[in-house]
Structure 1
Amino acid sequence: MIMARKTDPYMSYRFRVEIEGIISVGASDVTGLQLETETESYEEGGINYYVHILPKRTKYQHIILKRGITDMDDMWGWYMDVVDGIFERRNGAIILIDVSHPDIDLLRWEFDEAYPVKWIGPEFRADSNTVAFETIELAHNGIWKF
């Protein structure tokens, strides 16, 4: 008898972000791990009961990192370099960490040749005691899961 292996879903709150040249990005949120393949419809002559759907190119969503602002200005500096015309692409990874064993990487999503295309500063409110967050958006040339 074949026994199915039971696996519980991984928890999404234990992760780290590494970017080449920046030791580690202490992000509180990461979004944009999304790929989408465009398609093209092709109607073949004589076949009237369906339309062929053919794949075209794959688009990669921008990766969005949100983190609390600290004295470390590495991400701001990288973005300002782009603003100043210094265009430096960097590789990086989003790494899912084992909840019970923080030194064990469960999964990695590596991205190639990223560079910042958008920076959003914190919202300041006198009636709130929340953390000041910055958001940076990265364009890249692909994501691979390991």
Structure 2
Amino acid sequence: MYYNAINRYHFKVDWGGSRLGFAEVSGLDIAIEAVSFRDGNSPEDQFRKMPGLRKFSNITLKREMVRGDNEFFDWINSKQIGNIERRNITISLLNDAHEPVVVWRVKNAFPVNYFGPVLAAGDSNLAMETLVLTHEGIEVEN
């Protein structure tokens, strides 16, 4: 059987901001909580395991900083009492023709952390900023 593996370096993130290019995306994870259960009338002296609620990891978006672009900071800083803008986000893994091969649709995401760049006088790397998002679910299409 022949498998057509997909490279991970060609992707875009449509997050509601003007720039779609990112250096790194992580946290496209889903876990199902295992719930221990035992009926008081059960003759067995152990718990049964049942599937419980789904849990989604936070998604981390990382990109280089560009002069005049404060969209990450503005989004997390827009929080008002009990209210912050939620966005549906699309993360697309692309083929060589720049067409989506796998698409993750993230529901009702909002930022929970913003990290500015690490500044180091002896380092010539780009200044990077990071936004961490929580959300209410992921759907995958491929």
Give TM-score, length-normalised by structure 1.
0.86
Q: How many residues align?
A: 137
Residue of structure 2 in register with 1:10 after alignment: 6
Residue of structure 2 in register with 1:93 after alignment: 90
Give TM-score, length-normalised by structure 2.
0.88
**Cα-Cα RMSD:** 1.7
Alpha-carbon contact 1:16-1:24 (below 8 Å) kept: no
Asked if 1:136 is matched to 2:131, the reply is yes
The superposition leaves residues 85-127 of structure 1 with CA deviations (integer Å, 9 ceiling, x where unpaired) of: 45110001110000x211x110100001111110011011111
Which segments of 5 or more consecutive residues in structure 1 lack a partner in the other structure? none
Residue of structure 1 in register with 2:50 after alignment: 54
Residue of structure 1 in register with 2:121 after alignment: 126
Alpha-carbon contact 1:30-1:65 (below 8 Å) kept: yes
For 1:18 and 1:27, the matched residues in 2 are separated by 10
Q: Aligned-pair distance for 1:27?
A: 1.1
Q: Aligned-pair distance for 1:74?
A: 1.4
Residue of structure 2 in register with 1:28 after alignment: 23
Residue of structure 2 in register with 1:145 after alignment: 140
Alpha-carbon contact 2:76-2:111 (below 8 Å) kept: yes
Q: Aligned-pair distance for 1:66?
A: 0.6
For 1:136 and 1:120, the matched residues in 2 are separated by 6
Alpha-carbon contact 2:22-2:64 (below 8 Å) kept: yes
